[in-house]
Amino acid sequence: MSRPQKLYVKSYGCQMNVYDSRRMADTLAPLGFVETATADDADLVILNTCNIREKAADKVYSELGRIRALKENAASDGRCVVVAVAGCVAQAEGKEILRRAPAVDIVVGPQSYHRLPDLLARAARGRVVDTEFPIEDKFDHLAAPTRAATRARGLSTFVTVQEGCDKFCAFCVVPYTRGAEGSRPAAKIVAEIERLTDAGVREITLVGQNVNAYHGDGPDGLPWTLGRLLYRVAQVPGIARLRYTTSHPCDMDDSLIAAHRDLPSLMPHLHLPVQSGSDRILAAMNRRHTRADYLHVIDTLRAIRPDIAFSSDFIVGFPGESEDDFLASFNLIDEIGYASAYSFKYSPRPGTPAAELPQLPDEVTSERLSRLLYAIDRQQAVYNARCRGLALDVLFEKQGKLPGQLVGRSPYLQPVQVMAPPELIGEIHKVTITDLGTYSLFGTLARAAIRTPELAATGV
């Protein structure tokens, strides 16, 4: 009997890549591929790449340099290592990757992952590139995970419901690499989630590049909004928590807002990137909304779900950003009172409109980034400090670093560390927050009763 082939998949970038990496592993499993944690002993290495900023794309080439050495070492031991580049760099650069990186055998774009078994067979005869947008739906052809694989991946998982983007923000490469918006049919998403919860998954995050533009076919023959989908998914037995990411402020429609009012399992946390607090820059970015529009969405959500927490992405140093424009972003952090936020230096991406504009000097951008990071950290500390003394529902996910410690998340996505027995993994318990770390909270188990939303709804 031949030995199982080892597969190493490394994922860069967003949660959609994490999801795709798992589906690639599931699709290769029937061919005898078993996942391994390092590239060192792998027979097939897949780098699932991100192209959102230059730094992310550059990382791929430095990793490919290391993998080339590894491949040569393996070859001198008579072992053949196949190297595939997947994801958004594959889509954007295609054949160019073969030219720059001699170790690469396969380049595969995000819409063609279901063709991996065929690409592997073809790679035995020579290097292959597949960056088409095929007619067939890859989701219909990617294999589902086994129960064992699902369990090994933990209790909280991502499910892609939507891909691509039609918004064309002036800085963003996504509409070019991931293509036009497309949504999976609701019934297929529900069936996938039923399989996951049946294998023990408790928390599902619906993901999409522009998830709240979801408009998949419903079983009633009508297009469903994300709100409508969430109402349906919330009925799946075993679901304790629901989240979705990443959203655009213009697509927060009434059904989605109502879902935050009506669904106890929909967590009171929303990642709603604003990118800039300045109307001038928002217009230059082609964001299609103003600062006031954004604040209105936040106010509407707070009116129906007062404890809802927000996080955001900010870009600093977009072409033409003045000190006043920057200060408008800076001020928004306190004004909204974010639970957390990410900030990025603007990175000109080839083919996007903003890359053609005159760029700001790097010193200006770097200095603004450090001021913004400081403001974000300070705001996050303020937010977390408000949680001290509160009893929060924590879904325990895994063992912590210390013996006897468990780690879970609050409804607001904060990591919470608690001394608690391992039997509580997979359950939701009240935790009284006693201490604050830099990015996580510490607490004590408030009481032993299990308070999943289903049980809470029945008054247990």
- Interacting residues with ligand SF4 (CB under 6 A): 165, 167-169, 172, 174-175, 209-210, 248
Nearer to ligand 5AD, 142 or 355 (CB): 355
- With CB under 5 to 8 Å by kind, the binding choice for 162 among ligand 5AD, ligand SF4, none is none
Complex with ligand 5AD: residue 315 or 420, whichever CB lies closer:
315
Among 86, 72, 408, CA closest to 241: 408
Q: How far is the CB of 203 from ligand SF4 (least distance, A)?
A: 24
**Nearest-approach distance from CB 325 to ligand 5AD, in angstroms:** 15
Long-range contacts from 9-12, C-beta under 8 angstroms, 24+ separation = 9/35, 9/45, 9/46, 9/48, 10/39, 10/45, 10/46, 10/47, 10/48, 10/63, 11/48, 12/47, 12/48, 12/49, 12/50, 12/56, 12/59, 12/60, 12/87
From the list ligand 5AD, ligand SF4, none, pick the one residue 270 interacts with, judged by a Cβ distance below 5 to 8 Å according to partner type: none
| CA gap 317, 211 in Å, rounded | 26
Least separation in angstroms between residue 314's CB and ligand 5AD is: 7
- Smallest distance from the beta carbon of 92 to ligand 5AD, in angstroms? 12
Identify which of residues 217 and 313 has a Cβ nearer to ligand 5AD in the complex.
313
**Closest separation between CB of residue 436 and ligand 5AD, Å?**
27
CA dihedral 108, 141, 156, 226 (to 10 degrees): 100
248 binds, among ligand 5AD, ligand SF4, none (CB under 5 to 8 A by kind): ligand SF4
* Other beta carbons within 10 Å of 195: 14
Choose between 23 and 349: whose C-beta lies nearer to ligand 5AD. Answer: 349
CB 29, min distance to ligand SF4, A: 31
344 binds, among ligand 5AD, ligand SF4, none (CB under 5 to 8 A by kind): ligand 5AD
Q: How far is the CB of 272 from ligand SF4 (least distance, A)?
A: 11
Name the site residues for ligand 5AD (rule: CB under 6 A): 52-53, 171-172, 273, 275, 313, 315, 344, 346-347, 349
**How far is 210 from 246, CA to CA, in rounded Å?**
6
Residue 224 binding result from ligand 5AD, ligand SF4, none, given CB thresholds of 5 to 8 Å by partner type:
none
Question: Smallest distance from the beta carbon of 168 to ligand 5AD, in angstroms?
Answer: 12
- Binding-site partner at residue 315 among ligand SF4, ligand 5AD, none, CB < 5 to 8 Å by type: ligand 5AD
Q: Give the shortest CB-352-to-ligand SF4 separation in angstroms.
A: 9
Question: Token pair for residue 410?
Answer: 């609050």
Inter-CA distances, 136 with 110, 141, 145, 218, 267, Å? 13, 8, 20, 19, 34
Burial class (CB in 10 A: 0-12, 13-18, 19+), 393: buried
Instruction: Please choose which of ligand 5AD, ligand SF4, none residue 119 contacts, taking the beta carbon within 5 to 8 angstroms, the exact cut-off set by kind.
Output: none
User: Among ligand 5AD, ligand SF4, none, what does residue 71 contact (CB within 5–8 Å per kind)?
Assistant: none
What DSSP assignment string belongs to 224-289?
Answer: PPHHHHHHHHTTSTT--EEEEE---GGG--HHHHHHHHH-TTB-SEEE---B-S-HHHHHHTT-S-
* Nearest residue to ligand 5AD, by Cβ distance, number only: 313
How many angstroms separate the CA atoms of 67 and 69, rounded?
A: 5
Rounded to 5°, angle at Cα 163 from 98 and 313? 95
Which residue number, 197 or 210, has a Cβ lying nearer to ligand SF4? 210
* Cβ-based neighbours of 170, under 8 Å, separated by 6 or more: 284, 285, 286, 352, 353, 354
Q: 241 or 349, CB closer to ligand 5AD?
A: 349
Residue 42 or 165 having the CB closest to ligand SF4? 165
Alpha carbon distance 214, 223 (integer Å): 9
The first and second tokens of residue 19, run together, are 């999801």
Which C-beta is closer to ligand 5AD: that of 311 or that of 384?
A: 311
